[in-house]
Structure 1
Amino acid sequence: MADPADSQANQGKVESRKLNKQMLGKLLVIAVLMFGFGYGLVPVYKKICEVTGVNFLTPKDATVEAPANTQVDKSRTITVEFDGNSQGPWRFRPTVSSLQVHPGEMTQVVYEVVNKQSRKMDAQAIPSYAPQQAAAFFKKVECFCFTQQTLGPNQAKEMPVVFYIDPAIPKDVKLITLSYTFFEIAGQPDKAG
């Protein structure tokens, strides 16, 4: 004969399994709903951002132009002449002799140097300006004159100068000459090469 205590224990196990399966089903439904809710938030968030104009990265019209630099004085043009002098057996010159620039406009010019020697050379470029008052308004952002240059034997190198002219420059200045003197740094020639 079956013990009523065993029968009750088996019935408790069956009921416990039934409750566990129900709980597992509820948890799976909740997990699927949470995933769906998170996935559905992306288009809702994009739409909210588009409507409010907050944090919307892609414009509706692909033909939108980049904003203009309002610090450029398009009403004025200044001619900048470039000059290169060298103290030593190498060639040093700008790739263009002059440019027309507007005050505030970022401009780049390239100088080229060729070491005609069969040894390594360390050199430095020193700028000068004419008229002298233009020096305070000639703003170099990048320049080979900021650092010492090392050229290998018979090496050619192109070196950029990125600059703008401060729009506060006096209106009577219409021509600026930027001249560099390129010279070997004394006492540092490479005797081995």
Structure 2
Amino acid sequence: MRIDHIPVKGGEPPTGAEPSRVRPLIRELRPSRRTALKSLAVGAVTAALVPLEWVFTKGMALAGPTSEWTGAGCADSYPNGYTQQANNWWSSGAATCFGGWRRGSYPCASGWHFEGWRGYSDEGYTSNRIATACGSGGTKKNAWRWTTSGLVYRCSDATTTCVWNSGERYTALTIAMCRV
């Protein structure tokens, strides 16, 4: 490249330059003002709605199973039977439900075992509802009804990871004893 081929003014073509073959094609494709505004509007709506979809999709993904046995209990999983066990969470409650590392009313949220994170004292809990502990064969559910002293409870299952302030962790089945 020679320096004398560089134009002095930016608007002047160099000597002997041929017209561009691309420029007329671009001018033919130029969208109308209406099309350009539609494109901008679609882009703005998409930019606003996509993050909302991500939030709502994530929220729905966190919602675990909410199916329950409404009969006498989850006896098909325990052919030798079972008896109610005492509440061993932090909140008070009657001896109701059966199984799990911990069971009681503390993990209830809207009638089911909570999902997500909660903390109490020096413990933090992360729970996810499951439908693999109550039932046999291909029929599994998340919860079962329990009636005691004339009151009806829903015993809802979840896998819960407990983390203490010391960093120690423990993961096991927990049961929410929720009034129905």
Normalising by structure 1, we get a TM-score of 0.26
Larger Rg: 1
Which structure: greater helix fraction? 1
Normalising by structure 2, we get a TM-score of 0.28
Select the structure with the greater relative contact order (CA < 8 A; seq sep ≥ 6).
1
